[in-house]
Every structure is written in C-alpha cells, then in structure tokens.
Amino acid sequence: MALLSLHNISIAFGGTPLLDNISFEINKGQRICILGRNGTGKSTMMKIIAGINAPDSGEVIKETGTRIAYLPQEIPENVAGTVYQTVAGGAGPAGELLAELNSLQSSGEREKTTQLHQSISEADGWQVQNVIERVLSLSGLDGHAEYSSLSGGIKRRVFLARALVKEPDLLLLDEPTNHLDIESISWLESFILSSGITLCFVTHDRKLLKRLATRIVELDRGIIFDWSCDYATFLERKQALLDAEEKAWELFDKKLSQEEIWLRKGIKARRTRNEGRVRALKRMRHERSLRRQRSATASMEISEAQRSGVKVLDARQASFYYGNRAIIRDLNITISRGDRIGIIGPNGCGKTTLLNLLLGNISPDQGTIERGTNLQTVYFDQHRAVLDPQKTVWENVAPGGGDTVFVNNSPRHVISYLRDFLFTSDRANSPVKQLSGGERNRLMLARMFTTPSNLLVLDEPTNDLDTETLELLEDLLGSYSGTILVVSHDREFLNNVVTSLLAYEGDGFFKEFIGGYDDLQEQLATQKPAETFKKAKPQKESPPSQRKQKRTFREEQEFKALPGQIENWENQLNEITSSMADPQNYKKAGFAADSARLSKELQEKIEAAYKRWEELEEIEKANNK
C-alpha cells in the first residue's frame, strides 16, 4: 500500500482549476521531485499532501500512522526563543515540554521545573530529547543561539531540523535550497541520501534534482504527468510530448475547420441522416473550448550600455573590518571587461559585503580598489529592497510614471514589456505585496533590464525562479557582452554562467579559481588540504588524472565559448598595447605599472585558455580514435 495517495483532486481559487482531477501516489523509499512553472500549483499540491489545505473535491488517503513533516517555501522570521526551543517544538507534545523546560533552565523556578521533569518522563520525552540533540548535531546548529539573530539560510536549516525531529515517514520540502549556502545544500543532499527517508520535494536547483530524485512528476495546466526517469531523459521526453501535442492539435483544428465548412453548406447538414455528424461537431467544439493552451514562455532582453574600459575593477590588498573582525582580508583581483565572476561561500561569510566593497558602496579599511572608466552598473539585490510592495507591478517597472519603457533605446509599452516576463495585464495592476517569490524575482529582472549597463551585479538571482525561466536567464547572460559579478548557491547556474569563481577560504580570505563550480571541485580534489588555504606553500604540479575519453556537456559548452573568450582578451591586450605605444599616456600617474600588470594578467589568461582549448580538443580526438 502507498504511504499516501491523492484521488481525483481538484482545487481552484476562482476561475480555471489549479489542479484538475489529478491522482497521484507516494510509495515508501521514493524521492519524488514535483516540477512545473511558477504558478502551476506545486506548493498548493504540497500543502494538500501535508494536510494544511483541503481540496475542493477528491480525497487524500494516508496509510494509518504515517507521520508527515513539511518545510514550507517561506520560513517564519519573527520566532521567539532559542534554536533548541524552535526545533523541539516540532517534536509534538513531548517536544513542547522540552522546549518549555529549556526556557526555564536559567530562571531558577524549581517547582515548575520539577513538574516539567515529571510530565516529560510520563510522555517518554527523554527519548525525544535524544532525537532533538542528534538532529541538532547532524544539522550543525547551536541550540543556545537566539533564532532572531540568525541569517535566512540558518533559519531555514533550523526549520528543516524542526521537521526532522518528528522522525517523519514522509518529508515534504518546498524549495529547500532557497537561502542555503552550497555547504548546507551538500549537507542536505548527503543527509537525505544516507537516511533512506521517503521524500517529496519542489526545487529549481537542478543539481539537487539530479542527485536526489528517483522519480519526476510534473504539473502542467492542471494535469499531472508522471515521469519515471532522470532529469535529462525527462527533458527529452517532455519536448517530444509537446511536439506530439502540437501536431495533434494542428490535425484536430484542421478537422474542426473542415466540419464547420460542411455545416455552413446548409440544408444537407440538417437532414436526419447527418444528425450524428452534427452531434460529433458539437462534441469537437466543446473539446476545443476546454483546451488549455500552454502558458507563454518568458522573453527577456538586457539593455546594454556602451562598453566599459578594459579594466573594470582592480583590488590590491583590500581589507574590510567590522569591529576587530576581518570580513574581507587582503583581497587581490583584477576584473577585466567581459569577465564573469561567481562569488561563493557560507552564509554570513561576507559575500554581499564583498560586492559592496567592489562597487564602492563601502570603502576598504586597508588597501585599494580602483574602478575602471565608463562603468554603468545595475545591481540585483537578493532582498528585493528596490521593489515597493505597496505599488503595482506597473508602477515598479516604470517608477517615473507613464506607460512606456525603453529597452536598448527602443520604446515598449509597459504592458507589452511585462508580458515578456509572464505578467498578464491584470497582474500588471496588482500590488507587489500580492506577488509570489518567483513573480517578484521576474519583476526585479524586468525592472533591472530596462537600465542600460555594462556591469551586471547579481546577488542570488535564482531564488524562486522555475527551471525554464532560469535556463532562459542563463542564455541571456551568456550573450551579454558586459561584465558579470554574481553571488549564487546554484551550482548548475554557476557552471553555465561564470568563467571564474571567488571562493571563500575562511578568516576573510577569498581565492580566485578558473572555471565553474564543477571545475572548482576538480581542482580542489587534486590538492592536499593545506593547499586550499591562502598562506599554504605552493606544491608541485600533480600529474594529470586519467580522463574519460569524451567531453561532458559542461566541457562542450566551455569548448564552444573559449574562442570568443580568447578573442575578447586578445582585443583587450591589443588595446593596452596600443595605449602603451602612445607617449602621452605615460604622463598619467601609475599608467606604466598598471598597464604592464594588466598586460601580463591578460597574457596569462590567454595562455591558460589556449592550453585548456588544446586539452578539450585532445579529449575529443582520443574519443574519435
């Protein structure tokens, strides 16, 4: 028997059903990922499974005694008490008693404490306490910390621990990686894989999906599709289904059109012997009226400014302190036009501070940061603070008023422009406070892309975006000719967008690595632990590891991008060489030293890129032998 089954479930919030007569079951040991565009009902379905929402019709059948724990997409912010008290509260009545006892430990109320000890013993609560302490330890949480003092990512980990202390038979996770750092996501993956727990989850994190999902189900236009395959196969089968659906609709519409022409011929169609054909036509009309068209695909365009100077940012021994604590220590990096830099590290390590330091919003306490010429920066804030929740979508994307925005100097009506980001005319007039997380993200992108830029700064842009919109954003950034700085926990996004990473190493140090997230893991895997730290002594180059004789998808994308990247760096080098040939430029302070250093760095990048190109060519040659 299934742990839980949905039978003929329907629910609507006015108008077209969000879930339309769907049936679905969860069997023990499965790890099921629910996919679908934003707004297709994924979270609603999760809440029905969790018993939080009731469907309009249909039934939910749960095996007797099945314990379900649910981690919602939105984590409560204003929770009083310690981490221990918050986590213990998820363990039922015994957990609530333990949380109360924990809150009284420093109060000295002996009589109340004695009563609680008695109640906990009667509820078999000491066994529950062992579970709570084990989960806190596995989660890496400090039970004494005040919940209100934690970052968003740690708060999410606390509520995950709160769900786990229930020792559920079925764990429901709605966008569990939002606001988690990469280390926490890796821990979550390892924990779930080792626990053997039955899991149903919603995610936009394709790495998490690929590693955890043993089954994929998709919500599309109110209907559920069950795909028992991996993600790559799902994408292929899904596209084949859409192509077949489009062909079937084309044939159906052609047949309907022919029947309508026949009916309009008049008297012959109304003879008794043709009444069956008329009834068939009516059924076709009804079937056509019930058809639910697939939602439009987002269509984005970035407004680009005139290109910046060759040197975009140059940090030398830059440090920033908060009190006596070094948030950023001895940062050295040169960012050139066209570079795509990802920034990764644990929550609270200073990634956003690093962005503000590079952008000049705060000044270094030590060292220098120079910014290049003609920089036009657009900043995507992870907290979406630039959006006014009281104003409408329209008013936020056109804050100056009016009904026109300009994208790459071309005028667009606001409604037409917002449709590119999947906002209907009704939604365009809705206040921002009514939007979902995914809609707010799309609105931020819509607002951001109307401003011409040659430096895009993105702080966690992938939160709440569905995978389709996420992949479109990746393609858009891939064709952007400016420079990109991005903070992200999305490993697949980093693989597909950035050319190098600034990775946090501890104690305020960030170190640059060439390539995306997977490239970083390969580089770290070949190093001894001491080599990953800033002060470590250099080691001899290790011999190349045995490679599989075929390029991966990531390597194929890298191979295709390398010629353009090399050309860009060579053009920059030519510009510097030309400027160094002009005697007038040497009147500028520091010109000779800066130009020589930048020229050397570009030459090293070009040399490394050619070497990498040759390596990738050799892999393919070996495969073709």
Q: Which residues pair with 286 in a beta bridge?
A: none
**Phi/psi of residue 224, nearest 5 degrees:** -105, 135
Six-digit token string for 439: 């809609």
In-domain check, residue 296: no
Nearest to 320 by CA among 269, 281, 284, 354: 354
**How confident is the model over 196-247, as pLDDT tens digits?**
899 999 998 999 999 999 999 999 888 888 887 778 888 888 777 777 777 7
Q: Which of 479, 498, 532 is the last residue of a domain?
A: 532
What is the rounded distance in angstroms from the CA atom of residue 427 to the CA atom of residue 442?
12
Q: Are residues 487 and 385 in the same domain?
A: yes
Please work out, in degrees rounded to the nearest 5, the angle formed at the alpha carbon of residue 560 by the alpha carbons of 558 and 566: 85
Angle between helix 553-580 and helix 591-624 axes, rounded to 10 deg: 150
Q: Does the pTM of the predicted model rise above 0.85?
A: no
Model pLDDT, residue 1? 66
Cβ proximity of 70 and 52 under 8 Å: yes
Angle at 423 (CA atoms; ends 226, 403), nearest 5 degrees: 170
CATH code of 580's domain: 1.10.287.380
Measured between alpha carbons, how far is 181 from 349 in angstroms, rounded to an integer?
10
Q: How far apart are CA 12 and CA 21, in angstroms?
A: 11
* Nearest-angstrom CA–CA distance, 153 and 145: 14
384 and 399, same domain (yes or no): yes
Q: Same structural domain for residues 398 and 473? A: yes
Whether 102 and 89 have beta carbons less than 8 Å apart is answered as no
Q: How many domains is the chain partitioned into structurally?
A: 4
CB of 296 within 8 A of CB of 419? yes
CB-CB contact of 371 with 308 (8 Å) = no
Map tokens 């012997």 to a residue: 273
DSSP annotation of 274 reads G
Residue 123: Cβ-neighbour burial (10 angstroms; 0-12, 13-18, 19+): middle
Name the stretches of the chain with pLDDT < 70: 1, 106-108, 262-263, 265-275, 286-299, 382-385, 527-554, 580-587, 589-593, 621-625
Q: What is the pLDDT of residue 336?
A: 92
Domain that holds residue 512: 311-532
Task: Specify if 302 maps to a domain.
Answer: no
Torsions phi, psi for 348 (to 5 deg): 85, 5
Rounded-to-integer distance, Cα 534 and Cα 132, Å: 37
- Distance separating alpha carbons of residues 4 and 168, to the nearest angstrom: 13
pLDDT given at position 448: 86
User: In 3-state terms, what secondary structure has residue 87?
Assistant: helix
β-pairing verdict for 325-336 and 311-322 = antiparallel
Residue where one domain finishes, among candidates 202, 233, 264? 233
**346: in domain:** yes
- The 3-state DSSP class for residue 583 equals helix
Looking at the structure, do residues 140 and 259 belong to the same domain, yes or no? no
482 and 428 co-located in one domain? yes
DSSP labels, 275-294 = HHHHHHHHHHHHHHHH--PP
Q: Are residues 523 and 559 in the same domain?
A: no
Instruction: Please check whether residues 262 and 323 belong to one and the same domain.
Output: no
Same domain, 248 and 338: no
Burial of 544 (0-12, 13-18, 19+ CB in 10 A): exposed
Instruction: Give me Rg for the CA atoms of the chain.
Output: 29
Q: Are residues 585 and 505 in the same domain?
A: no
Which long-range contacts does 281-286 make (Cβ < 8 Å, 24+ apart)?
281/256, 284/252, 284/255, 284/256, 284/259, 285/256
Two tokens at 135?
């989960």
Residue 303 lies in a domain: no
Q: What DSSP designation does 536 have?
A: P
pLDDT tens digits for 282-323? 777 766 666 655 555 666 778 888 888 899 999 999 999 988
Same-domain status, 440 and 403: yes
Distance CA(502)–CA(511), nearest Å, equals 5
Query: Could you tell me the two tokens for 417?
Result: 């422009």
Residue 102: give its domain's CATH number: 3.40.50.300
Residue 123 per-residue DSSP state: T
Same domain, 439 and 457: yes
H runs (alpha helix) in 365-511: 393-397, 414-419, 425-428, 437-448, 467-478, 491-497
The answer to whether 187 and 135 have CB atoms below 8 angstroms apart is: no
The neighbour count for residue 425, using CB atoms within 10 Å, is 12
- What is the CB-side half-sphere exposure of residue 573 using CA atoms within 13 A? 15
Whether residue 185 is contained in a domain is answered as: yes
Q: How are the residues of the chain apportioned to helix, strand and coil, as percentages rounded to the nearest 5?
A: 45, 20, 35
CB 204 within 8 A of CB 465: yes
Contact 449, 476 (CB under 8 A): no
Place of tokens 């910390």: 145
Residue 301: inside a domain: no
Residue-level length of the chain: 625
Residue 176 lies in a domain: yes
Q: Which of 564, 504, 571 is nearest to 340 (CA)?
A: 564
Closest CA to 315 of 365, 368, 237: 368
Alpha helices by DSSP H, listed for 213-311, are 231-264, 275-290
Is 537 a member of any domain? no
| Whether 225 and 259 share a structural domain | no
Q: What is the pLDDT of residue 542?
A: 36
Could you give the CA distance from residue 334 to residue 375 in angstroms, rounded to a whole number? Answer: 15
User: Among 196, 217, 233, where does a domain finish?
Assistant: 233
Contacts of 512 (CB under 8 A, 6+ apart): 333, 341, 500, 501, 502, 503
CA-CA distances (angstroms) from residue 75 to 147, 176, 179, 440? 12, 10, 10, 17
